[in-house]
Amino acid sequence: MARWTFDDIPWNRFDRSKVDVEIVRIVKAAALVEFNGDAYARHLCLVFHDDPVFQSSAKRWGEDEVQHGRTLAHWASLADPDFDFAAAFARFQAGFHPDFDRDSSRRGSRAGEMVARCIVETGTSCYYFALHDAVEEPVLKEICRNIAADEVRHYKLFHQTLIRYLGAEPIGFLRRLGVALGRLAESQDDELAYAYHAANETVLPYDRRRCARAYARRAFAVYRKPHVVRGVKMLFRALGLAANSRLARAAGHLAWAVLRHCAGRGTHAAACRHSPRKARARFQLLTNLAACLCRLLAHRLQQPRFGSRRAVGVAGTKRL
Ligand SMILES: [Fe+2]
Ligand SMILES: [Fe+2]
């Protein structure tokens, strides 16, 4: 599935003068999560045990994700020669233990699993497009361009599989919405927060709230309106709604307005109105409220309780 390789990256164009240390921190965290992709691919092969066609695609998908992690890790080590990716990944694996061995989807059906995967690929594709547009360092820009294109292909793979499975496992709009909201709420769980901790902290004890805030503050700063609008359209498509409808456009505008207002970002005027500290607090409040609302709605839509907290190792949250 990979259309590019590690060796295709123009590493010799690396420009240290254009490295943003705040971006380096979130790139390190992303490298850990991506590099763990093959474990999730194995889980998908268990869930789709009698579908060799999808298993083959899932394995190639996992290889893509591992390549993303390896490439981001190498860039991070150029930006920060003290970064020890192997040690950071060992810390990540020691503290974060999703249940990759289960042979059924936590989303209640294979179609539900594909909805959740579409949500994840929506998030990753928009994130790498946003990162591509935000960074100045040329090598990272090229890496993000390649990864974003991969994530779009991943979304298409899972969306096509969703359509295929809806025939045998029909799940209605509300069930799909429940899965989507539940998966969105899980963005507040341990995976990214613990990856941020494992990648950037060697002395401090893990604190989910602090690490989630530290990650989100840096990651959300790279988004601009087109990225958010694009993400909402992909979300609509995963839910079986018209992506080019007025409703989708309105939802995209609303999502951007809420993000910009509460993060205190997006326009110079907004940045001037709120102190960075106040803006951070408001943004954190919004993301917490949104996660709670998503969990509540997902529960009301009678989804199985996924993303539930379980004491596992250091990090604790199981998430698939
Ligand atoms: Fe990826
Ligand atoms: Fe992906």
CATH number at residue 142: 1.10.620.20
- Tell me what pLDDT residue 264 has: 55
The closest alpha carbon to 263, from 210, 193, 192, 213, belongs to 213
Q: Count each helix (H run) and each strand (E run) in the chain, helices first.
A: 13, 0
124 CA distance to ligand 2 centroid (A)?
6
Domain count, the chain: 1
Give residue 21 CA to ligand 1 midpoint distance, Å.
Answer: 21
153-212 confidence digits (pLDDT tens): 999 999 999 999 998 888 889 999 999 999 888 877 789 999 999 999 988 999 998 999
Residue 226 lies in a domain: no
Query: Which residues surround the ion ligand 1 when the cut-off is CB under 5 Å?
Result: 34, 65, 68
Position 110 in a domain: yes
Please report whether residue 146 resides in a domain: yes
Is residue 227 domain-resident?
no
Nearest ligand by distance to the CA of 146: 1
For residue 195, how far is its CA from the centre of ligand 1 (angstroms)? 14
Interval 31-67: pLDDT, tens? 999 999 988 999 999 999 999 999 999 999 999 999 9
Query: Does 68 score more than 90 pLDDT?
Result: yes
Q: Would you say residue 91 lies in a domain?
A: yes
- Categorize the per-residue pLDDT at 307 as very low, low, confident or very high, splitting at 50, 70 and 90: very low
Looking at residue 303, its pLDDT comes to 46
Residue 210 is predicted with a pLDDT of 92
Joined tokens for residue 219: 């990651």
Q: How far, in Å, from the CA of 124 to the mean position of ligand 1?
A: 7
Asked, for residue 196, whether it belongs to a domain, the answer is: yes
Q: How far is the CA of 71 from the centre of ligand 2 (A)?
A: 14
Single pTM value for the model: 0.84
DSSP string, 11-60: GGG--GGG--HHHHHHHHHHHHHHHTHHHHHHHHHHHTTT-HHHHHHHHH
**Residue 258 included in any domain:** no
Asked whether residue 116 carries a pLDDT value surpassing 80, the answer given is yes
Domain span at 82: 13-220
> Looking at the domain assignment, is residue 241 inside a domain?
no
